[in-house]
Structure formats: C-alpha cells, structure tokens
Amino acid sequence: MENCIFCKIVAGEIPAAKVYEDGEMIIFKDIEPIAQIHLLAVPKEHFKLLSEMDAPRTALVGCMLAKIAAFAPKLGLDGGYRLVINQGEDAGQTVPHLHIHILGGQKLGWA
C-alpha cells in the first residue's frame, strides 16, 4: 500500500533493523523502544485491523504467533515477553498496518 511505512520497510525502500524475515513476515527493532527489547512483528501483506482478518489472515497471524514463540529464545526473550496489538484510535495505533509489539528483556510493569 502506498505511503505505508511498514509496507516500505517490507519492500526494502526504507531501512529497518531486521532480526527475522521469511516469506510472510518480518521482525524488526522498534525505532522508539519502550523496553530493553522492543520488536515489531509485521505481516508482509498490508491490512490494518484484526477485524479485517478472513480465514487466510487468521491462519497467518496464528503462524506469526507460533514463530514468535519459537524464536523468542534467540531474540533474548528467554525470561518472558509481552505481545501487544494496538487497534484503532483509542488504543493509539499510529501505523495503519497490523503489527505485534514484542516487549521484553526486563521485568515489565503493567500500565
């Protein structure tokens, strides 16, 4: 999608600190981390909201969760991690391309 910053990262048009990539998703470092480890898991296909998930997208997001779990130890997240998906304005979603925040590397507060 034009003018989507995450589509541009997927296309390699703007740089990102990638830590994982396969045919369906990439994981890269958040540019403004709010935890010791703050990564973003992003599907290569553009869609904004969980409410846009049809059956293939549901499977895609399920695979993303499984891959995050599988790679967590290699990402330095042995001690645990938190996954966050901001949806829409009230949640403060700023990038309109579905993404999963992966937070860890420290004891996380709840707020």
The tokens for 23 are 């045919």
Stretch that binds Zn ion, among 11-19, 33-41, 54-62, 90-98 (CB under 5 A): 90-98
CA 104 from centroid of its chain's CA atoms? 13
d(CA 49, CA 66) in angstroms, rounded, equals: 19
Among 32, 54, 89, 90, binds ligand AMP (CB under 6 A): 32
Binding residues for Zn ion restricted to 20-79, rule: CB under 5 A: 46
Which of the listed partners (Zn ion, ligand AMP, none) does 4 bind, with a CB threshold of 5 to 8 Å by partner kind? Zn ion
Give the phi and the psi of residue 21 in degrees, each rounded to 5.
-155, 140
Q: Does 93 bind ligand AMP (CB under 6 A)?
A: yes
d(CA 16, CA 110) in angstroms, rounded, equals: 28
Provide the annotated active-site residues.
99
Cβ proximity to ligand AMP, 78 vs 94, nearer residue: 94
CA 63 from centroid of its chain's CA atoms? 13
Stretch that binds ligand AMP, among 30-38, 51-59, 60-68, 69-77 (CB under 6 A): 30-38
Maximum pairwise Cα distance, the chain: 38
Cβ proximity to ligand AMP, 31 vs 50, nearer residue: 31
